[in-house]
Amino acid sequence: MSLDDIKETFFAECADQMAELETGLHEIQSSGPDMDTVNAVFRAVHSIKGGAGAFGYNALVSFAHVFENALDVIRNDLSQVNETRMDLLLRSVDVLSDVIEAERTGAEPQDNAALAGELEASFGLGDAEEAAEEDDALADFAPVMIDLGDLGVGDAPSGHSFRISFMPHASLYLKGHDPLRLFRELAEMGTLSVTCDSAELPKLSELTPDEAYLKWQVDIETDRSREDIEAVFDWVDGECALSIEETGAPAMDDGVDLDAFLQTLDETEPGADIDDFGQDPEPEAEEPKNPVADLIGSLEAADIGAPATVAAGADEPQEQVVDPAIVQAVAAAGQRAEKKEVKKASQTIRVESEKVDRLINLMGELVINQAMLAERIGQAGFGNASPAALALVELQNLTREIQSGVMAIRAQPVKPVFMRMSRIIREVCAATGKKAMLELEGEHTEVDTTVIEGLIDPLTHMIRNAVDHGIEDPETREAKGKPVQGTVRLSAYHSSGRIVIEIRDDGAGINRERVLDKAMEKGIVARDAKLSDDDIDNLIFAPGFSTAEAITDVSGRGVGMDVVRQSIQSLGGRVNISSDPGNGSLFSMSLPLTLAVLDGMIVKEADQTLVLPVSAVLETATLKPGDVYTVGRNSRVVKMRNQLIPIIDVGSQLGFAEPRSDYTRGTIMVVEGGKNGMGAFVVDSIEGQQQVVIKSLESNYKRVPSIAAATILGNGQIALILDCDHIVSHQAEDPGAPIIQSMAG
Amino acid sequence: MQDEHEQTTVGGEEFIAFRVGDQEFCVEITSTREIRGWSQATRLPHSPEYIVGVINLRGTILPIMDLSARLGMGSSTPSERHVIIVVQVGEKTVGLLVDSVSDILDVGPDHLRPVPEVSPSMASEMFRRVIVMDKRIICEICLDAITPDMELQAA
């Protein structure tokens, strides 16, 4: 593992910690602080700081440090949470994320001193006494001596001396930490004297091998700050009892000579190359360490000349400790404990997405080959009940299972994307002076990562819009009797094989009059058009439409909602809006769970094999002559279940054939086309139903209207997958004419 | 002349020459991926005349361009005799439908000429250079120029 790899891991972990942090703060904001959440949040920042320290990312360390201290105030007194402070903390998350990004890319981190200063001011970090007053037990963490001007970079006055009392818990050894390493690091800072206190060491007969009994008192004379000393113990925070006191007095002179002490430890260390430890920031990556070895080392060290009182019985067990059999047994116990730890850690694994992608591609080939096999078996004349056909069914079931298993690997909760949106809201609020908060629901809903990636941009845009155009400014809200703070609710759920994502705001809703005026002004809709409320709402998706009076720097970036609609459609999804004037709007997106396979209905039309997503097909039927009605000059509709559904001649619509004169010969498929309602597609025949692998046309060609993608059939031929929404909305329309004219007419 | 290429003997560039109608054209051998026979293509709706359709090239969707139609020489009716030259254009792989592959040329710099000004009907911007060898005149197809709208749409 090279250093770059380790850094990569660090930044991946940072991302996890940031997610944890943001989730936690959100929880605190929405349901008030509780100790567990606050601790989790604190831990996240602390881990980031610790890791950053190991790599020497000073800017990150110093900001994380202030952040951490601020959180510590809350950790010590939950009632310290208030709105201003939460706001400050949330903004700090954004800055922290920026600083991490800057460190990752090697860019110059933005100046964050202002926010750091605000944090300090708001949380009273500058005032040591106040901090101490808040909670005395805090002594370990209260940043008593910090000079906030130069955090962590340590230009502190020289000549401190500190007394550190350090009592490792057993967990410290279990995690592979080594006190020796800590002492070495301290020794680099100044003059050190270490005293081992083995008073708590029981008789060997009472000794539990994986318990920790030793503690050390370290006196150090150094020109470094207390900060630096604390930083040494960052990695073992929570794994030991630690106190650092500043002492004016000179160092104790009755301590063990450090060199001798270290040497003894070295000699008794079984085979571990201690010098390497400092270079590896990942404890897991270290060779399994045996706590007992440390114990033995310490015992001997204690024997060598520590003034500490070695328990009366200690001389006797000393001999037995040397007995190799016992040492071995004890060591084995230690290693068992170690293994347990490792097992727990491997419950999740990080896999490069490339590997998963390859698996998914292979799975696609498998599906195609299976279809090929099915075709061959059919051609060979085996009946449906023949052993060959039954074996094929078995294979098909297995393939399906493998497929859903593989897809599950790539499925991710939408949460990270949702969390990102809270930052967007904060930014928009800051830019517009509005007040809004984000509520999440169903953020654990899982969907394929490719869908998630494609979601980020449209979602960002819609969230911006919701606040910028939807939520009113605080005064207006107050006047209307609404809560001053607006709410944007982002929710996700699964529904019939798709994921539905909704954005609901409690703002003003769509101003239909203004939208209609604007649309007429821009020529998107005819002056005399009669539009339903729904049609008007959906005008905002029309190309070239932007409602904002003046283009703000928030939503107006030259792209409108039509781009949002397009990008959702390119994911095979659709987006609808419904609005309740005065009470807000609801944007609802429905997306496929995966972009790799779909259940397809295979149809023949005009000598072409076409595929329709099964999810879009509502029913199929054949027509009798009396079922078809002519409306207007050229449009025909079919009456089914008391509904009039426009007939769409797929072959002629795609330009594959002349318009047919007789609809009764073909098969009708009633297809759902999103907001554009239903369409009755006429095709020559239905061939069957089959899973198809979605292959992009764009990768080698370009997007083709009315076509969602392509697939490869069992005979090796390519079949096109129809974009039902597009076909329904563009029926009988002159090429290039705006959508809305057909809707209006 | 110093020869740094292993396989070239004259030290020039290598081209694949092919026939479209009664003319010869060529592309650089480095942009050629493979040459294969004609197989039935799936038609694409709403596409220009020179896009014959798409075929399955070992699991990828390969668009086929009728070079004759693209160069304004009339559409060809694909048959068993036709050949598809699979070329790489930027990130994309495209198949060119031609009548037959005629030659592999190793051309020295003195045989390569700039495209002469010809009548606009035979869009000269579709060619990069002209190879003049013996009595043959072979235009090198500018792959970027014949696939412009595909590139634009991809952006």
The mean pLDDT value for A433-438 works out to 87
Does the residue A35 lie in any domain?
Answer: yes
In 3D, which of A199, A252, A739 has the Cα closest to residue A519? A739
Verify that A185 and A301 share a domain, yes or no.
yes
- Record: contact B42-A655, CB cut-off 8 A: no
Out of A129, A150, A171, a domain closes at: A150
- A175: Cβ contacts below 8 Å, ≥ 6 apart: A239, A283, A341
The mean pLDDT value for A136-164 works out to 50
Verify that A452 and A463 share a domain, yes or no.
yes
Please give the pLDDT value at position A278.
43
Please give the pLDDT value at position B11.
63
Q: Does residue A554 have a pLDDT over 80?
A: no
- Record: contact A712-B56, CB cut-off 8 A: yes
Higher pLDDT, A296 or A613: A613
Does the residue A282 lie in any domain?
Answer: yes
Verify that A256 and A276 share a domain, yes or no.
yes
Verify that A602 and A710 share a domain, yes or no.
yes
User: Residue ranges of the domains in chain B?
Assistant: 15-154
Verify that A498 and A605 share a domain, yes or no.
no
A424 and A463 Cβ atoms separated by less than 8 Å: yes
Q: Which of A363, A702, A706, A711 to substitute to test the interface with B, most B CBs within 10 Å? A: A702
Interatomic CA distance for residues A679 and A509, integer angstroms: 30
Nearest by CB to residue B61, choosing from A368, A656, A697, is A697
- SS3 call for A63: helix
Alpha-carbon distances, residue A722 vs A574, A612, A675 (angstroms): 14, 6, 17
The mean pLDDT value for B62-79 works out to 89
Q: Candidates 3.20.20.80, 1.25.40.10, 2.40.50.180, 1.10.10.10; correct CATH number of B15-154?
A: 2.40.50.180
How many structural domains does chain A have?
5
In chain B, what residues touch A704 (CB-CB under 8 Å)?
44-47
Q: Which of A31-35, A87-91, A139-143, A441-445 has the lowest mean pLDDT?
A: A139-143
Please give the pLDDT value at position A260.
54
Q: How confident is the model at residue A725 (pLDDT cuts 50, 70, 90)?
A: confident
Please state the φ and ψ torsions of residue B21, each to the nearest 5 degrees: 65, -130
A602 and A690 Cβ atoms separated by less than 8 Å: yes
In chain B, what residues touch A697 (CB-CB under 8 Å)?
44, 54, 61, 63
Q: Residue A249 belongs to what domain range?
A: 160-345
Out of A150, A172, A207, a domain closes at: A150
Nearest by CB to residue B46, choosing from A655, A712, A716, is A655
Q: Which of B33, B36, B46 to substitute to test the interface with A, most A CBs within 10 Å? A: B46
Please give the pLDDT value at position A175.
73
Higher pLDDT, B55 or A634: B55
Please give the pLDDT value at position B19.
93
- What average pLDDT does the structure give for chain A? 75
The mean pLDDT value for A211-240 works out to 80
In chain A, what residues touch B43 (CB-CB under 8 Å)?
608, 656
- Record: contact A704-B149, CB cut-off 8 A: no
Q: Does residue A559 have a pLDDT over 70?
A: no
* Chain B residues bordering chain A (beta-carbon distance below 8 Å): 40-47, 51, 54-56, 59-63, 92-94, 149-150, 153-154
Verify that A191 and A81 share a domain, yes or no.
no
Q: Does residue A535 have a pLDDT over 60?
A: yes
Higher pLDDT, A234 or A151: A234
Please give the pLDDT value at position A324.
53
Verify that A479 and A500 share a domain, yes or no.
yes
Higher pLDDT, A745 or B87: B87
Residue A509 DSSP class = -
Nearest by CB to residue B45, choosing from A655, A695, A696, is A655
Within 13 Å, how many C-alpha atoms sit on residue A312's CB side? 0
Q: Does residue A470 have a pLDDT over 80?
A: yes
Assign residue A95 the CATH number of its domain: 1.20.120.160
Does the residue A155 lie in any domain?
Answer: no
- Is the torsion defined by CA of A187, A190, A193, A194 positive or negative? negative
- A735: Cβ contacts below 8 Å, ≥ 6 apart: none
In chain B, what residues touch A726 (CB-CB under 8 Å)?
none
Q: Which of A365-379, A469-483, A555-569 has the lowest mean pLDDT?
A: A555-569
Verify that A658 and A519 share a domain, yes or no.
no
Percentage helix, strand, coil for chain B under 3-state DSSP, each rounded to 5: 15, 45, 35
Verify that A250 and A378 share a domain, yes or no.
no
In chain B, what residues touch A695 (CB-CB under 8 Å)?
59-61
- Cβ neighbourhood burial of A433 (10 Å; 0-12, 13-18, 19+): exposed
Q: What is the chain A residue with the closest CA to B42?
A: A718
Surface of A (563-622) touching B: CB under 8 A: 608-609
Q: Does residue A269 have a pLDDT over 60?
A: no
Lay out the sheet containing B32-37: strands in order across: B32-37, B83-89, B92-98, B60-66, B51-57
The mean pLDDT value for A118-146 works out to 52
Q: Is A365 on the interface with B (CB under 8 A)?
A: yes
Of A231-235, A424-428, A570-574, the range with the highest mean pLDDT is A424-428
Distance from CA of B17 to the nearest CA of A (A): 23
Does the residue A57 lie in any domain?
Answer: yes
Count of beta carbons in the 10 Å neighbourhood of residue A602:
20
Q: Give the DSSP per-residue string, A215-265.
A: EEEEEEEESS-HHHHHHHTGGGTTSEEEEEEE-SSPPPSSSBPHHHHHHHH
Does the residue A272 lie in any domain?
Answer: yes
Please give the pLDDT value at position A180.
81
In chain A, what residues touch B51 (CB-CB under 8 Å)?
701
Distance from CA of A688 to the nearest CA of B (A): 19
In chain A, what residues touch B42 (CB-CB under 8 Å)?
608-609, 710, 717-720
Q: Is A697 on the interface with B (CB under 8 A)?
A: yes
Verify that A542 and A634 share a domain, yes or no.
no
Q: Does residue A396 have a pLDDT over 70?
A: yes
- Record: contact A710-B62, CB cut-off 8 A: no
Interatomic CA distance for residues A737 and A739, integer angstroms: 6
Within 13 Å, how many C-alpha atoms sit on residue B11's CB side? 6
Please give the pLDDT value at position A248.
65
Distance from CA of A707 to the nearest CA of B (A): 8
Out of A542, A567, A592, a domain closes at: A592
- Record: contact A717-B40, CB cut-off 8 A: yes
Please give the pLDDT value at position B117.
74
Higher pLDDT, A465 or B96: B96
The mean pLDDT value for A692-711 works out to 85
Q: Which of A143-152, A283-292, B16-25 has the lowest mean pLDDT?
A: A143-152
Q: Does residue A143 have a pLDDT over 70?
A: no
Higher pLDDT, A342 or B64: B64
- Record: contact A654-B45, CB cut-off 8 A: yes
Tens digit of pLDDT for each residue in A642-653? 788 888 888 888
Q: Which of B40, B51, B61, B151 to substitute to test the interface with A, most A CBs within 10 Å? A: B61
Verify that A423 and A531 share a domain, yes or no.
yes
Q: What is the chain B residue with the closest CA to A693?
A: B59
Size of interface A-B (CB pairs under 8 A): 75
Please give the pLDDT value at position A20.
82
- Record: contact A608-B43, CB cut-off 8 A: yes
Tens digit of pLDDT for each residue in B74-128? 888 888 889 999 999 988 899 999 999 998 999 888 888 888 776 665 567 788 8
Verify that A79 and A99 share a domain, yes or no.
yes
- Record: contact A704-B46, CB cut-off 8 A: yes
Query: Which residue matches tokens 């020289």?
Result: A158
Assign residue A571 the CATH number of its domain: 3.30.565.10
Tens digit of pLDDT for each residue in A22-67? 888 888 887 888 888 888 888 888 888 888 888 888 888 888 888 8
- SS3 call for A100: helix
Q: Which of A83-97, A221-235, A365-379, B15-29 has the lowest mean pLDDT?
A: A221-235
Assign residue A673 the CATH number of its domain: 2.40.50.180
Q: How confident is the model at residue B7 (pLDDT cuts 50, 70, 90)?
A: very low
Q: How confident is the model at residue A335 (pLDDT cuts 50, 70, 90)?
A: low
Q: Does residue A291 have a pLDDT over 60?
A: no
Q: Which of B54, B87, B96, B146 to substitute to test the interface with A, most A CBs within 10 Å? A: B54
Please give the pLDDT value at position A265.
53
Nearest by CB to residue A710, choosing from B51, B61, B154, is B61
Please give the pLDDT value at position A139.
40
Nearest by CB to residue A701, choosing from B41, B59, B63, is B63
Q: Which of B36, B49, B56 to substitute to test the interface with A, most A CBs within 10 Å? A: B56
Distance from CA of A150 to the nearest CA of B (A): 47
In 3D, which of A723, A716, A745, A714 has the Cα closest to residue A732? A745
Q: Which of A127-136, A595-604, A613-622 has the lowest mean pLDDT?
A: A127-136
Q: Which of A311-320, A370-379, A450-459 has the lowest mean pLDDT?
A: A311-320
- Record: contact A701-B40, CB cut-off 8 A: no
Please give the pLDDT value at position A77.
82
Q: What is the chain A residue with the closest CA to B86?
A: A700
- Record: contact A716-B93, CB cut-off 8 A: no
